[in-house]
C-alpha cells in the first residue's frame, strides 16, 4: 500500500467515519470539506446559505463516494448548537471542526449595536463550547477522535477595531489548549488553529485591500490536519507576531503542560 494511502487509512481510523464542519459553504470550511472527503470521511456540513452548501455536498458525494448531511443553521442564533447536534444525531462523529467565526461587523466597539456583539459571542463562544461538549462526550466513550477550533492571530492580544472578535478568539484558543490537556488521555486530539488572514470569499466581502503575505485557505487546512495529532496550538506566522510565532507556540504548549502537572499535584488527580 502506498504511503499516502496508508496515511489516509490511518486518518480515517482515528478521526472517521464522520466529520462535522461548521461554516462549511466556502473558504476555509469548503477546504476542510474537500480535504476530508478526499480522505474518505463522511461529512456533516453546516452553514447559513443552503445553495452553496448543497452544491458542495453533491460535488463531494460524486467525486469521493462519501455520504453527507447538510443543515443551513445560523450559529448566531440561540439554540443553534442543539440544531447541529440534532443533524449529527446517530452518527459516529470522529472529528469536529469549528470553523464559523469571521467578524462581519467590521466596526469599533461603540459603532455597532450591542446585539451585534451578543450574536458574535453566541457564535464564537457559546456555540463553540456547546458543540465541543456535545461531540467530545461520545469521543471520550470511544477513546478516539479530534477537535479543531479555528482561532485567529487577533486572539493573541487585544486589537482595536475587532475588540470583541479578538476576545472571542482568545477564548477559543484557551479552550482548545485546556481541552487538549484534559482529553488526550482519552485518545482525543485537540488543536487550536491561530489563523492568519486568508484569501476567502468572506474576507473579500468585507475587505478590498491587497494584504501582503495573505494565506491560501487550502494550505492552512492542510497544515492543521497534519498538526492535529500534535496539539494543542499551531500559530501561523502572520502580523506583528510573525517572527516569534514558533516561539510563542512552544511557550504556550509548555505552559499548558506545566499547569496540567500542577493541577494534578494540587488536586491529587491520577
Grid cell at residue 252: 504556550
- The C-alpha cell that represents 230 in the structure block: 500534535
Distance of CA 162 to the CA centre of its chain: 19
Annotation says 264 is catalytic: no
CB-based contacts of 185, cutoff 8 Å, min separation 6: none
Residue among 15, 32, 76, 165 flagged as catalytic = 165
* Catalytic annotation present for 76: no
CA distance 227 to 197: 19
In DSSP terms, 146 is beta-bridged to: 95, 189
The shares of helix, strand and coil residues in the chain, as percent rounded to the nearest 5, are: 55, 15, 25
- Tell me how far apart the alpha carbons of residues 96 and 89 are, in angstroms, rounded to a whole number: 13
- Residue 23: phi and psi, rounded to 5, are 65, 45
Q: Do residues 127 and 75 lie in contact, with contact meaning Cβ atoms separated by under 8 Å?
A: yes
Cα 111 from chain centroid (whole Å) = 28
Beta-carbon contacts of 42 under 8 Å, excluding residues fewer than 6 positions away, are 16, 17, 18, 19, 66, 67, 68, 91
Catalytic residue among 169, 186, 208, 250: 169
Which residues are annotated as catalytic? Answer: 165, 169
Amino acid at each position: 500500500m502506498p504511503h499516502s494511502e496508508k496515511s489516509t487509512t490511518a486518518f480515517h481510523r482515528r478521526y472517521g467515519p464522520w466529520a462535522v464542519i461548521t461554516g462549511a459553504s466556502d473558504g476555509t470550511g469548503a477546504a476542510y470539506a474537500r480535504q476530508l472527503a478526499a480522505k474518505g470521511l463522511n461529512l456533516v456540513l453546516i452553514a447559513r446559505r443552503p445553495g452553496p452548501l448543497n452544491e458542495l455536498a453533491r460535488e463531494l458525494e460524486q467525486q469521493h463516494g462519501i455520504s453527507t448531511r447538510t443543515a443551513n443553521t445560523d450559529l448566531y442564533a440561540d439554540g443553534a448548537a442543539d440544531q447541529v447536534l440534532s443533524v449529527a444525531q446517530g452518527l459516529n462523529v470522529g472529528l469536529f471542526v469549528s470553523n464559523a467565526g469571521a467578524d462581519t461587523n467590521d466596526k469599533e466597539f461603540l459603532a455597532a449595536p450591542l446585539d451585534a456583539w451578543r450574536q458574535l459571542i453566541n457564535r464564537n463562544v457559546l456555540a463553540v463550547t456547546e458543540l465541543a461538549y456535545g461531540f467530545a462526550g461520545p469521543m471520550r466513550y470511544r477513546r478516539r477522535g479530534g477537535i479543531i477550533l479555528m482561532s485567529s492571530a487577533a486572539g493573541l492580544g487585544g486589537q482595536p477595531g475587532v475588540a470583541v472578535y479578538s476576545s472571542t478568539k482568545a477564548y477559543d484558543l484557551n479552550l482548545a489548549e485546556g481541552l487538549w490537556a484534559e482529553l488526550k488521555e482519552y485518545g482525543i486530539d485537540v488543536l487550536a488553529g491561530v489563523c492568519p488572514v486568508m484569501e476567502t470569499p468572506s474576507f473579500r466581502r468585507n475587505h478590498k485591500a491587497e494584504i501582503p503575505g495573505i494565506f491560501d485557505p487550502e494550505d492552512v487546512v492542510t497544515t492543521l490536519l497534519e498538526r492535529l495529532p500534535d496539539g494543542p496550538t499551531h500559530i501561523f506566522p502572520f502580523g506583528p507576531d510573525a517572527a516569534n510565532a514558533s516561539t510563542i507556540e512552544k511557550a504556550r504548549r509548555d505552559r499548558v503542560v506545566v499547569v496540567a502537572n500542577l493541577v494534578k499535584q494540587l488536586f491529587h488527580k491520577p
